[in-house]
Amino acid sequence: MSEAATGGPTAEATVVERFAAIDRVPVTWHEAPAPGPPVLYLHGVPTNGEDWLPFLERTGGVAPDLPGFGRSGKPPHFDYSIEGYRRFLEAFLDHLGIDRLSLVVHDWGGVGLALAQAAPERIERLVVMNCVPLLPGYRWHRIARVWRTPLLGEMAMGFTTRWGTRQLSREAVVAPGPAPREFVDRVWRHFDHGTQRAILRLYRSAPPAVLEAAGTRLGAIRCPALVLWGVEDPYIATSFAEAYAERLGGPTQLELVKGASHWPWIDRPETIERVAGFLRAAA
């Protein structure tokens, strides 16, 4: 990727939207020039790459809408699983000509940890935020248990409304909810049948034993890492932040962010600059 034309570390980069077909899947991503190794930002469920716009402005990098989400394709033939997304990410990086990179993962963006374990030498720096645990001992939260149940999950998806999504977002923020309207509207705008199918297949592909097996080589990731975790997360306990910090093989900083929930940067916007500062150290 090209080098940023703007000067100091706080200058904002211009973010542009890109499109391409990768392995027969139309893919949309946001991109901004980076002064050093590009940062790959990976979103979770049920959002998309727009989560990362304020991060991209500060660090540059790329933030795809993963297949099944946002404006990317949502084909029935795609393998909506940890391994399927690992293969996609390899193809995506090959398409962009990116060899070495920093990696930021949130929620189901943790599929990027499969890529990092397969090729740890490619990763300059790693940020893990409120990430699906590729670790022993995790049991899915109540919404995920519904989605993982055949028929019940389909019914729950079919009865989801904008109003219901807004009410459910109350538990995703610490301040009296719901979550900011622009966040809810962005989720709802892309919550079509294709995304619903992707979510159901992804969750059903990952019983606890599969999650644990997917993280067996976390110790091979030896780059500097930051595990930053909103402690009021109703879906994933802080014990898994501590477990990630213990299992990663390189120098790792653990920061538990009080007053923040599952999307910590919504409750505590200063975490955006904290992440950016950590990543800029690799430039």
Tell me whether strands 101-107 and 61-64 are parallel, antiparallel or unpaired: unpaired
Domain membership of residue 228 (yes or no) is yes
| CATH number of the CATH domain containing 75 | 3.40.50.1820
Encode the chain (283 residues) as per-residue pLDDT tens digits.
Answer: 323 333 334 468 899 999 999 999 999 999 999 888 899 999 999 999 999 999 999 999 999 999 999 999 999 999 999 999 999 999 999 999 999 999 999 999 999 999 999 999 999 999 999 999 999 999 999 999 999 999 999 999 999 999 999 999 998 889 887 899 999 999 999 999 999 999 999 999 999 999 999 999 999 999 999 999 999 999 999 999 999 999 999 999 999 999 999 999 999 999 999 999 999 886 6
Domain membership of residue 190 (yes or no) is no
Q: Which residue range forms the structural domain that includes residue 77?
A: 16-138+208-280
Torsion of CA 92, 51, 276, 12, to 10 degrees: 90
Domain membership of residue 66 (yes or no) is yes
CB atoms within 10 A of CB 182: 9
User: For the chain, how far is it from start to end, CA to CA, in angstroms?
Assistant: 13
Domain membership of residue 171 (yes or no) is no
Report the pLDDT value the prediction gives residue 39, as an integer from 0 to 100.
97
Domain membership of residue 270 (yes or no) is yes
Domain membership of residue 166 (yes or no) is no
Write down the H helix ranges in the chain: 53-59, 82-96, 112-118, 142-147, 152-158, 162-168, 181-189, 193-204, 208-214, 238-247, 264-267, 270-280
In the block, which residue shows the tokens 């966040």? 183
Number of domains forming the structure of the chain: 1
Tens of pLDDT, residues 165-205: 999 999 888 988 789 999 999 999 999 999 999 999 999 99
In the block, which residue shows the tokens 């009296």? 176
Domain membership of residue 236 (yes or no) is yes
Domain membership of residue 223 (yes or no) is yes
